[in-house]
Structure 1
Amino acid sequence: MHIKTSTKKPLEFISAGQFISSKPWTHEKRVIDSYELIIGVNDTLYMKQSDQKYNIEPGQAMLVLPDQIHEGFCPCTPGLSFYWVHFLSPSPVYHISNEEMDQEISRLRKNPDTQSAISDIYLPQYFHGAVSDRVNILFQQLLHIDNSNYYTSTSVHYLLTSLLIELSEQNITNFYYDLKDNQMDHHLVRIMEWTRVHAFEDITVGKVAEQFNYNKNYLSRLFKSKIGMNLSEYIHLLKISKAKELLTRTNNSVKEVAAALGIEDEKYFMKMFKKYENMTPTEFRKAFYRTHMNNT
């Protein structure tokens, strides 16, 4: 099941934070009058909504619906952590099935001229795949702005809306990417996924090409023609995206962040980060340091 709503008006932010448990913990049984998005950060959150059980692993997400009973169905281990945000939609919200969503998006894809005018977002009740690092970064920025006393009070509403748009885009992509459209696309997706999984090792274009029996120059040209960047840039962007998440979510030193990305040379990492972000890792971390945490 998915919810569909418009973003012509920004969604209304209520509150957000990061929950951290220092002891065994079970989510209380309750009913709320808003939507709540939960994104796993560490360990597994066990949740039940309307008799449906969900195991929310790190990087996975769940949408708690208003006026429905939800609760934990077994104790979570110490160290559990997750992001949470409560929000409302000023526009009507529609509940649609997978079949209805398929029909809607298929109709839109058949008429590309209408895509620029679309303002709807589509959020599943449970995100089966892992959300991208971009979502984690947006969430950290949301927490920072919420705790920064911005004079422009609407800032959190627009950033929340940006976060939900990003989730919607990931949902649509995951739901509708058809590997049968093009055999070469099928191979490219496999290569991209393998590269993503191994991106934080000592990975090179040559190693990727060797893994899939391609000439490395041909493989880079293939990436450039299909996704608009060569393979080396794709690897760098994966590393930069993860670096931004680590810089906002952890207190790891820049050297430790670089090592987590499979980069031994700290200065090389700093140079690469500044090339893509126009600021140093330390400057990026200082830009978003305020968060709200609740714990047990």
Structure 2
Amino acid sequence: MLGCKAPEPLSFSVCGQLISPSGFLHHRRCFAETVLILVTEGALYLNANGSPFALTAGAYILLPTGEEHFGFRSSEGSLSYLWAHFRTKQGFEPVHADDAKGYSYLLPETASVSPSGRTAQLFHQLMDLSLEEQLYTHSMSDYAVSLLLMELSQEYFRTCSTSQSLPGPVVSAREWIKNHYFLPFDLPELAAAIGYSADYLSSLFKRSMGISIVRYTNRLRIKTAKTLLSNHGVSIKEAAFSCGFSDEKYFMKVFKEQEGISPTQYKHSFSRRNIN
């Protein structure tokens, strides 16, 4: 675990998005800033502080100040990742889980989150802010990168506590949905895949999660749709089908219910990116 005791917001430096069609090999780097990388597509092969990491979609890595890193293997196929540099007076240090008290930020050196979830959205909002030139832009960027690191910390502990407290069938169902939400499926198909009756699984899931399987699945699908609409310029129809919706009108209805605006309105609200 890496921890940082920082009572004040982190100091944002720069961020962006790297997109490579194939054969990307990360240069050897050693910054006087902390670096955060979140892979959204493909695989990044990175050696950090002497250890090799194969970071696939959804994986992030936190590189403390002065930690040398470089690519040890070229990417195969499309690669895309978000990156941000920031500074903090206290710095990140190794922390044992039993000594976690008092840290403003506490997260693993590397872990995985949903590549289309809230972390990715916060990353993209940070990118948008970094391109603004308004009165409070610099301060807002500091708070935005701080919120991003807090979200990663929260996500890690939320994942740990949820996996420990949920019944086995619900954990299995969540994992299956996470791996298949981009495909159309129904409750009997899900239940058969993990070896439980549909009625039992539906009742247990709702009781444990406080939400139905359909609603839980649609939340994941809409999160992915938001990323597609805001970053890849796909059409509403393409976003719907790519996220497991077989009906474009139903997708638009669910999107409006969850986000309060239409997919078209959301798509138009994200337009600027810093891409290298």
Could you tell me the TM-score, scaled by structure 2's length? Answer: 0.88
- Residue identity in the other structure for 2:180: H
Match of 2:196 in 1: 213
1:11: how far off? 1.5
- Does the alignment pair 1:157 with 2:142? yes
Deviations 1:32-87 (A, max 9, x none): 10011111133222211221111122221111221122212233346432111001
Aligned partners of 1:156 and 1:237: how far apart in 2? Answer: 27
Unaligned segments of structure 1, at least 5 residues:
109-117
Identify if the C-alpha distance between structure 1 residues 178 and 193 changes in structure 2 by more than 3 Å, giving closer, same or farther. Answer: closer
Match of 2:122 in 1: 138
1:129: how far off? 6.3
Q: Secondary structure at the match of 1:73?
A: strand
Match of 1:222 in 2: 204
- Does the alignment pair 1:127 with 2:126? no
Match of 2:152 in 1: 167
Using the aligned pairs only, state the percent identity. 28
Q: Secondary structure at the match of 1:293?
A: coil
Deviations 1:135-190 (A, max 9, x none): 222211211121133432222222212221221122224455554x5xx6122101
How many residue pairs get aligned? The number is 274
Q: Cα RMSD between the aligned structures?
A: 2.4
1:93: how far off? 3.3
- Residue identity in the other structure for 2:226: K
Answer whether contact 2:3 2:93 (CA < 8 A) is retained: yes
Q: Secondary structure at the match of 1:148?
A: coil
1:200: how far off? 1.8
Comparing 58-67 and 252-261, the one that deviates more:
58-67
Match of 1:112 in 2: none
Match of 2:29 in 1: 30
Match of 2:169 in 1: 187
Answer whether contact 2:224 2:243 (CA < 8 A) is retained: yes
Match of 1:259 in 2: 241
Unaligned segments of structure 2, at least 5 residues:
none
1:259: how far off? 0.6
Equivalent of residue 275 in structure 1, options 247, 257, 260: 257
Aligned partners of 1:130 and 1:233: how far apart in 2? Answer: 17
Answer whether contact 1:131 1:170 (CA < 8 A) is retained: no
Answer whether contact 2:36 2:61 (CA < 8 A) is retained: yes
Identify if the C-alpha distance between structure 1 residues 150 and 209 changes in structure 2 by more than 3 Å, giving closer, same or farther. Answer: farther
Deviations 1:218-255 (A, max 9, x none): 43332232222122211111111111111122111000
Aligned partners of 1:104 and 1:133: how far apart in 2? Answer: 29
Aligned partners of 1:290 and 1:178: how far apart in 2? Answer: 37
Aligned partners of 1:205 and 1:253: how far apart in 2? Answer: 28
Q: Secondary structure at the match of 1:33?
A: coil
Identify if the C-alpha distance between structure 1 residues 213 and 43 changes in structure 2 by more than 3 Å, giving closer, same or farther. Answer: closer
Answer whether contact 2:113 2:119 (CA < 8 A) is retained: no
Match of 1:93 in 2: 92
Aligned partners of 2:229 and 2:9: how far apart in 1? Answer: 28
Answer whether contact 1:220 1:232 (CA < 8 A) is retained: no
- Does the alignment pair 1:66 with 2:65? yes
- Does the alignment pair 1:200 with 2:182? yes
Aligned partners of 1:23 and 1:253: how far apart in 2? Answer: 25
Aligned partners of 1:147 and 1:129: how far apart in 2? Answer: 25
Could you tell me the TM-score, scaled by structure 1's length? Answer: 0.83
Match of 2:3 in 1: 4
Aligned partners of 2:48 and 2:256: how far apart in 1? Answer: 44
Comparing 70-79 and 225-234, the one that deviates more:
70-79
